[in-house]
Amino acid sequence: MGDVDLALVRPGDQKRVYGQLSGSLSAIEPPLWAALCAAYVRDRGISVRILDIEAEGLSPEQAASTLAEWSPTVVGFIVIGNNLSASTWNMDGATAYHEALHQVAGGIPTFFWGLHPSALPERTLRNEGADYVCKGDDFDTVVRLVEVIKESGNAHGSGIPGLNYLDEDSVLVSWPQATPLKNLDELPTPAWDLLPMRAYRAHNWHCFHDLDHRQPYGVVYASLGCPFDCSFCSLNKLFAGKPGVRFRSPEKVVEDIAVLVERYGVKNIKVLDECFVLKERYVLEICDRIIERGYDLNMWAYSRVDTVNEQMLERMRSAGMRWLAYGIESGSRASLDVVHKGRYGAEEIHGAIRMTKAAGIWALGNYMFGLPDDDSMSMQDTLSLAKDLACEYANFYVTMAYPGSRLYEDALRDGTRLPTTWRGYSQFSRETLPLPTLRLTSEEVLRFRDEAFVEYFNDPAYQDMMRRTFGEPAVEAVREMLSHSIERDILIDGGARPDAS
């Protein structure tokens, strides 16, 4: 047996996933799921270490050498990520690091765990080389896997809920996914002590008001899952395959914030929930508990335009919520209806953004181009809406058929062209390949997105607003962002190249 029972690996592929944006512009977030898993198994007597390749900046060879020195009994590659798409576009990196480990220490049993492996367990086993896939979000799957391997060398025939593997005849064995844990308060505080906490940094926009202090950076979660069922999202494949959300108690949420603040000096915090602002009484209680502690925080979270009100916004601002990200997605109600997104219109969107700004909270608008019903006019409507709302920051995405989503299933059924690499599901890689719409090609969608990004952030009215709000350093940060160009293979091949990402 090894010197440590379990090594958890957070793979990294920053340069290829983000291209030229992989430097100082992007964030490096602490891997919550690896830290949660480590704390959970440690509480059950399993010795564990975490190797955060992204934070440490290790090559596959360096990571494999480090893991070999640790001599673990089992190695787990945690490919979950801190947003719904990260799991898929990190799979190429995870595979490269897994292959390097196999070359150095091929006898160590390995497993992949995350959203993408849960959506495509058999393909992960056959193509990525893992010995096992842990499907779902049950930490006991990992505990039992390590215990069984320590006892008998492999887990074939073990019947562990959520475990997938190929038997001796290369036939998939898939044990039913465990029922998700109902009481999230039973989960321990994440094992931040096993991670290089000083290495993490916030997004540049998160600190537009203080760009010199993006570190340290922490994450916290108040709930797991999502109650909605948008066809472009695959998140629920991790949580029993259906919509649903489970909440932690406000006490536990604030205890985790206290650990980050008091033990690690964290001020910049992301709330990882798919939508933090769902239940008014719950949000207010968390805010009141933070206010009682007197912390000086710079937090951000996801919200919906149809769940906020003035009281909530004012209380969140008092607790240190400086940014709220809204999934506005499209300026076309018809396009939103096709993907089952919300039931609100332009009036409600404008009202929510006005309320947010009036409360002293900066707004981030998330927009999507290339929804199934989009045409040039509807995408222009989306860009016009974004410019009218004038959020302090905006993310412009192209629509992807992420594995596990209904759009992915539709694309497979219809024979739609999909990326040839997992990295191609990243928004910023060379290989990016969005879905075509009923009226537009993938190339047309991507070209519109890249040009819309430049138009939005290059707008003198936007930059003047940024100067008034944050000062000249933020404007310079925006210009620096615009100076980076991204090579898009499908646009280069077609003879066109966008100026910026």
Q: What is the DSSP string of 102-136?
A: HHH-TTS-EEEESHHHHHSHHHHHHHH--SEEE-S
- Number of alpha helices (DSSP H) and beta strands (DSSP E) in the chain: 20, 15
Spans of all domains in the chain = 4-174, 201-492
CATH superfamily of 201-492: tm_1862 like domain (3.80.30.20)
Strand partners, 396: 367
d(CA 266, CA 213): 11
- Tell me the pLDDT tens digit for each residue of 290-301: 999 999 999 999
Fold match between domain 4-174 and domain 201-492: no
C-beta of residue 345 within 8 angstroms of C-beta of residue 385: no
Strand partners, 294: none
- Tell me the pLDDT tens digit for each residue of 194-234: 999 999 999 999 999 999 999 999 999 999 887 777 787 77
Which two tokens mark 259?
Answer: 């650990």
C-beta of residue 183 within 8 angstroms of C-beta of residue 220: no
CATH superfamily of 4-174: Cobalamin-binding domain (3.40.50.280)
What does each of the 501 residues of the chain score in pLDDT, given as a tens digit?
458 999 999 998 665 554 555 456 789 999 999 999 999 999 999 999 999 999 999 999 999 999 999 999 999 999 986 566 778 888 999 999 999 999 999 889 999 999 999 999 999 999 998 999 999 889 999 999 999 999 999 999 999 999 999 999 999 999 998 888 889 999 999 999 999 999 999 999 999 999 999 999 999 999 988 777 778 777 777 776 677 889 999 999 999 999 999 999 999 999 999 889 999 999 999 999 999 999 999 999 999 999 999 999 999 999 999 999 999 988 776 655 554 555 667 889 999 999 999 999 999 999 999 998 899 999 999 999 999 999 999 999 999 999 988 899 999 999 999 999 999 999 988 899 999 999 999 999 999 999 999 999 999 999 999 999 999 999 999 999 999 888 899 998 543 433 333
d(CA 233, CA 402): 7
Three-state SS for 403-436 is: CCCHHHHHHHHHCCCCCCCHHHHCCCCCCCCCCC
d(CA 112, CA 118): 9
